[in-house]
Amino acid sequence: MRTVALSLAALVFFGSSAPPRPARDDHGSAMSALADVRAAVAEIVRIEDGYAVGHGAYLRAAHRAMNALVGRRDDGYAPSFGDPGDGIGTLGHLDRMLDQSGSSLWTPAVEGAKANVLAAAASLQSSLGQKEMEDYEADLTQALASLALVVGRATETGVLGGLDGALANTALGVPAGATTVSGCAAPNRAPAYGIVAGRLAYVALPRSSASAGIPNGFAVSRVEVAPAWVVLYAPAARAAIALCRAGSRMRRMRAVAAPGAQPPYTAAQAHAGSAIYRRACLQCHGADLQGAAGPAVAGTEFLTNAQHNKWTLGDMRTTVFENMPFSNPGSLAPQQYADVMAFLLASNCYAAGTQPFPTAAAPTLAKVKLGPIHGARLSNPRLGTCSVR
Residues lying near ligand HEC in the complex (CB under 6 A): 280-281, 283-285, 293-295, 297, 302, 305, 316, 319-320, 324-327, 340
- Closest CB 357 distance from ligand HEC, rounded Å: 12
- Closest CB 354 distance from ligand HEC, rounded Å: 23
Asked if the peptide bond before residue 191 counts as cis, ω within 30 degrees of 0, the response is: yes
- Closest CB 377 distance from ligand HEC, rounded Å: 22
Residue pair 236/213 in contact by the 8 Å Cβ criterion: no
Choice between 107 and 347, CB closer to ligand HEC: 347
Choice between 30 and 338, CB closer to ligand HEC: 338
Sign of CA dihedral 307, 308, 310, 313: negative
Choice between 76 and 295, CB closer to ligand HEC: 295
Amino acid at 192: A
Nearest Cα to 35, choosing from 89, 73, 75, 105? 89
- Closest CB 364 distance from ligand HEC, rounded Å: 19
Q: Which residues of 50-66 are buried (b: 16+ CB within 10 A; e: fewer)?
A: eeeeeeeebbbbbbbbb
Choice between 89 and 263, CB closer to ligand HEC: 263
Choice between 83 and 339, CB closer to ligand HEC: 339
- Closest CB 388 distance from ligand HEC, rounded Å: 13
- Closest CB 346 distance from ligand HEC, rounded Å: 13
Amino acid at 317: R
Widest CA span in the chain = 106
- Closest CB 325 distance from ligand HEC, rounded Å: 4
Q: CA 218, CA 68: separation in Å to the nearest integer? A: 24
Q: CA 288, CA 7: separation in Å to the nearest integer? A: 72
Spell out the residues 6+ positions from residue 7 whose beta carbon is closer than 8 angstroms to its own.
none
Choice between 28 and 295, CB closer to ligand HEC: 295
Residue pair 258/350 in contact by the 8 Å Cβ criterion: no
Choice between 194 and 325, CB closer to ligand HEC: 325
Over its C-alpha atoms, the chain yields an Rg (Å, rounded) of 34
